[in-house]
Amino acid sequence: MKGVEQYWNPILETLPREKLQQLQLKKFQNIFKWAYEHSRFYHKLYSEAGIEPGDIRTFDDILKVPKIEKAMMRDIQGKDPFPYGDILCVPLTAVTEYRQTSGTTGQPIYQADTWQDWEGGAEAYCYALYAQGYRDSDRLFVPFGYNIFIAFWTYHYAGEKLGCEVIPGGVLNTEARILKMQELRATAMGATPTYVLGMAETAIKMGIEPPKDLFIRKITVAGEPGGSVPATRKRMEDAWGAKVYDQAGSTEIGHWGWECRYQCGLHVNEAFYLAEIEDVDTGELITEPGRRGKMVITTFDRLAQPCIRFDSKDVIEWSAIEKCECGRTFRLIRGGVMGRADDITKVKGVLLAPAAIEEVVRAVPQLGDEYEVVVTKKGDIDDITLKVELLPKCKAEISAIRETLTRELRTKTNLRYNLEFHDYGTLPRYEVKAKRFKDLRKGD
Amino acid sequence: MTEYHIKEIAQKIETLKLEATELKKMSGGIQAIDRNIDRILASIKMLEINISDLASIL
């Protein structure tokens, strides 16, 4: 697909970089002013920092704006206006949507949205789905329990906006979802990488081979790094006979990044968001490719509970690719979200990103999709164990697999692991986000 | 290469917004009008994000 028909908005998506930056600065000024004037929380934060709307004239000025983080939101919520606290910029009567974070890193954060904000979230997601080839001829299946978390709600609403037919598979169990997908010949779905692999495993047990017996040809994944981990992506694509696209977002931010059909990284939707990358230790702004840092992000048009310079702690890096083959000028992130700054931990004095272990495990074809990493302390010394599942009929190859794992883990993570081989199907399975990294040194 | 008439489109979007706002003022508080206009205005905002916001920089 070439030409303007590949874009949801051909004007915005191909805007020259200098115009895009002009637009971003203008939008940052607008949301800053809005929050300063309508939220007591932001007004106090900015007043204490001695900064007001007229002070934001350049991108350098943006760097002077105080960042916010989850802990600050936790402090204010539960107070008036209940339950959001004084971050709220609109009357409570204007709030039509409530969602909350999953609470992976602590007490959940409440998120208020007006209908317009909710429309904005779906609109941003439309850019992603359209870029991934979703069209009004698609029948989307959402194999997800619609609930208090934001995950895949926006996929649903964006699908409707695109004119797709959307099938809500919420309360069904995995087997029933697979049968319904087959019955209705669904062509696309959105899920976490963990669940995409789990569904394929269940389908096989039911005697259904997804590439042959189902009709899913596009899968959008979110919520975990797997969509941008090459070995995990390959497993998903092979299991389903479908293209798998990564997508990044969160409750507080919205859907800020996605892969297009050329899959050379995540495009940051810079018409809706300003993404900055900063050094985890020094806070220095990173603008060059190839250097990892944590993302600080601003959502431009979400008004009820603005997200301005939010320290997301997502670890990302800019891509060296200046212009994607798709023609979009939105900047690219290489390798998706690699994890959270909180998850990157030192083991035996070495920095470890759990996604690197996933890349090694999923590249070994004799191993199942599930694995678990457990870090403990024996005296003063860290100890790390990797539990994997051996596929049936591969037991004879255990020595060779052990050798491969040891070598690859050493190369990719600079660590030696205790390896535990388990029978296929015995490690825990997850429906949404998996918890495969357990750091017991912290009493986890 | 397709040519887009951004300023003209932005003008039409502005007209739509004014009409919708006027209609809400005329509603006499009928909820069936007010609430549907709110939804229309949210959709108009999406048009502004997609088009009108660009008009001043192009």
Q: List, for residues A395-407, the tens digit of each pLDDT value.
A: 899 999 999 999 9
Task: Name every chain A residue with its beta carbon within 8 A of the beta carbon of B50.
Answer: 9, 11-12, 123
CB pairs under 8 A between A and B: 44
Cβ contacts of A74 within 8 Å, gap of 6 or more: A106, A107, A109
A120–B50 C-beta distance less than 8 A = no
- Each as own residue / partner, the long-range contacts of residues A24-27 (CB below 8 Å, 24 or more positions apart, any chain) are A24/A270, A24/A274, A24/A300, A25/A56, A25/A58, A25/A59, A25/A62, A26/B53, A26/B56, A26/B57, A27/A274, A27/A300, A27/A301, A27/B53
Share of chain A above pLDDT 90, in %: 80
* Mean of per-residue pLDDT scores for chain A: 93
Q: What is the ipTM of this complex?
A: 0.96
Answer for the pair A188, A219: CB distance below 8 angstroms, yes or no: yes
Separation between Cα atoms, residue A26 and residue A31, nearest integer Å: 9
- Closest by Cβ to A116, choosing from B6, B42, B57: B42
* Digit-coded pLDDT (tens) for A377-425: 888 889 999 999 999 889 899 999 999 999 999 998 889 999 999 999 9
- Please, what are the domains in chain A? 1-341 (3.40.50.12780), 345-442 (3.30.300.30)
A120–B49 C-beta distance less than 8 A = yes
* β A367-378/A381-390 pair status: antiparallel
Label residue A105 by pLDDT band (50, 70, 90).
low
Of B49, B12, B56, B20, residue with least CA distance to A303: B49
Label residue A444 by pLDDT band (50, 70, 90).
very low
Separation between Cα atoms, residue A71 and residue A65, nearest integer Å: 18
- Strand-by-strand arrangement of the A254-258 sheet: A165-168, A139-142, A188-191, A218-221, A243-250, A254-258, A266-268, A332-333
Label residue A151 by pLDDT band (50, 70, 90).
confident
Q: Which of residues 259-298 of A touch B (CB under 8 A)?
A: 271-272
A271–B49 C-beta distance less than 8 A = yes
Label residue A166 by pLDDT band (50, 70, 90).
very high
Q: Report the domain count for chain B.
A: 1
A123–B46 C-beta distance less than 8 A = yes
Domain housing B13: 6-55
Task: Name every chain B residue with its beta carbon within 8 A of the beta carbon of A119.
Answer: 42-43, 45-46
Helix (H) or strand (E) holding A107: none
Separation between Cα atoms, residue A421 and residue A337, nearest integer Å: 29
Q: Give the model's pLDDT for residue A443.
A: 55
